[in-house]
């Protein structure tokens, strides 16, 4: 079957270059491109490009702190009882106050193990005379949670290496928000000056490619898709990374099919995708981000463990937290698996995939 490539340019075009010929063995490649003004211009091969990109995204997390506050409003409402408990705290009420604080943390999905760790640490410091007022207990509580999120030294910013293209694989179960998260991540990276190529590697769900093409148009990014149904995801990702390498893209964002963590054959496909990408650019994928539905709370942990064992997760994207009172699951996921949360979804808007900032998160839920 003859295969074709299409190149369409939106407003503010630069002089288009003709696409390279594609062999008949390769999947069809479609393109939707835009050449707008970038915030900064810097080849990814130059030292510091990805470091600079990561810093800009991290700074944006701090400047967008109000989005984090609004996104975790339901969790904050659950934990508001803590302020009431501590307002007139005295030493004689310690057991009662800590019991009610424990209940508030459990309701917010901190999980039994983490909750006990927090409460017993506070109890020890109170009885040891280190904490003498309600405000001191509140500050200690916030510091304990912050330490749990950061103690393992894991970095919440994207780690994209030193050569282009950097490759990010997005994985997860059906319905978790993978494709939407990829589109929002593309929007954020492009706004910070990166040249983005999408790869429609979800070859099992026909609507997934259509959905990602809509995101490509919405974010003015280019996209590689398979021509035939049920094409191997590894071949699509391989073709995309080749294209990214040949045409100077900074980041290739790879979508994959949603799968249950108990489906062995589909999990094995992720290994094939990972190997295919590494053959084109050694050392990639730079990030493998697991998208988890925050509404499921601690129920997400079994799938997170299995994905990590099979493919080696480098970070999490927690979605749909805007509609959840279970923000404490963020702490449990990080503490149990030692893997950082990179982004959180706090709304439906294109800008509502927020870079995760541990300090902003703690202030948001305990404000």
Check pLDDT > 60 for residue 38.
no
89 has a pLDDT exceeding 90: no
Per-residue HEC secondary structure of the chain comes to CCCCEECCECCCCCCCCCCCCCCCCCCCEECCECCCCCCCCCCCCCCCHHHHHHHHHHHHHHHCHHHHHHHCHHHHHHHCHHHHHHHCCCHHHHHHHHHHHHHHHHHCCCCHHHHHHHHHHHHHHHHCCCCCCHHHHHHHHHHHHHHHHHCCCCCCCCCCCCCCCEEEEEEECCCCCHHHHHHHHHHHHHHCCCCEEEECCCCCCHHHHHHHHHHHHHHCCEEECCCCCCCCHHHHHHHHHHHHHHCCCCEEEEECCCCCCCCHHHHHHHHHHHHHHHHHCCCCCCEEEEEEEHHHHHHHHHHHHHHHHHHCCCEEEEECHHHCCCCCHHHHHHHHHCCCEEEEECCCCCCCEEECCHHHHHHHHCC
The predicted structure's pLDDT at residue 194? 94
pTM: 0.82
Which of 69-73, 108-112, 181-185, 357-361 shows the lowest mean pLDDT across its residues?
Answer: 69-73
- According to the model, what pLDDT value does residue 67 have? 67
Indicate the pLDDT class of residue 261, thresholds 50, 70 and 90. Answer: low
Task: Tell me which of 58-62, 122-126, 131-135, 213-217 is least confident.
Answer: 58-62
The pLDDT tens digits for 287-305 are 999 999 887 777 888 888 9
Q: What is the pLDDT of residue 240?
A: 97
Structural domains of the chain ordered from first start:
51-70+154-366 (3.40.50.300)
pLDDT classification of 64: cutoffs 50, 70, 90: low
């Amino acid at each position: 079957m003859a295969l074709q490539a299409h190149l369409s340019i939106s407003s503010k075009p630069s002089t288009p270059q003709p696409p390279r010929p594609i062999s008949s063995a390769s999947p069809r490649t479609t393109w939707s491109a835009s050449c707008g003004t970038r915030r900064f211009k810097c080849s990814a091969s130059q030292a510091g490009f990805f470091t600079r990109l990561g810093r800009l995204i991290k700074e944006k997390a701090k400047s967008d702190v109000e989005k984090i506050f609004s996104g975790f409003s339901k969790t904050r409402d659950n934990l508001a009882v803590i302020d009431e408990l501590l307002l007139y705290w005295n030493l004689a009420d310690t057991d009662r106050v800590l019991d009610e604080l424990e209940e508030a943390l459990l309701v917010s999905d901190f999980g039994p193990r983490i909750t006990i760790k927090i409460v017993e640490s506070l109890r020890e410091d109170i009885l040891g005379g280190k904490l003498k007022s309600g405000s001191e207990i509140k500050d200690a509580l916030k510091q304990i949670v912050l330490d749990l999120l950061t103690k393992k030294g894991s970095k919440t910013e994207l780690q994209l290496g030193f050569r282009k293209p950097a490759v990010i694989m997005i994985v997860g179960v059906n319905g978790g928000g993978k494709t939407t998260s990829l589109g929002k991540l593309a929007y954020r990276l492009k706004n910070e000056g990166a040249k983005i190529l999408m790869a429609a590697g979800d070859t099992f769900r026909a609507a997934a490619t259509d959905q990602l093409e809509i995101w490509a148009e919405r974010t003015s990014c280019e996209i590689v898709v398979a021509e035939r149904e049920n094409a191997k995801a590894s071949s699509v990702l391989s073709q995309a990374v080749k294209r990214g390498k040949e045409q100077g893209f900074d980041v290739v964002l790879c979508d994959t099919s949603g799968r249950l963590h108990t489906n062995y054959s589909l999990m094995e496909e992720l290994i094939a995708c990972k190997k295919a990408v590494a053959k084109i650019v050694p050392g990639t994928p730079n990030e493998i981000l697991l998208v988890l539905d925050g509404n499921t709370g601690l129920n997400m942990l079994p799938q997170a463990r299995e994905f990590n064992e099979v493919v080696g997760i480098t970070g999490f994207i927690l979605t749909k937290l805007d509609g959840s009172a279970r923000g404490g699951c963020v702490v449990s996921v990080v503490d149990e698996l030692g893997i950082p949360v990179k982004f959180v979804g706090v709304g439906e808007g294109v800008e509502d995939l927020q870079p995760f900032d541990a300090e902003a998160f703690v202030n948001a839920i305990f404000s």
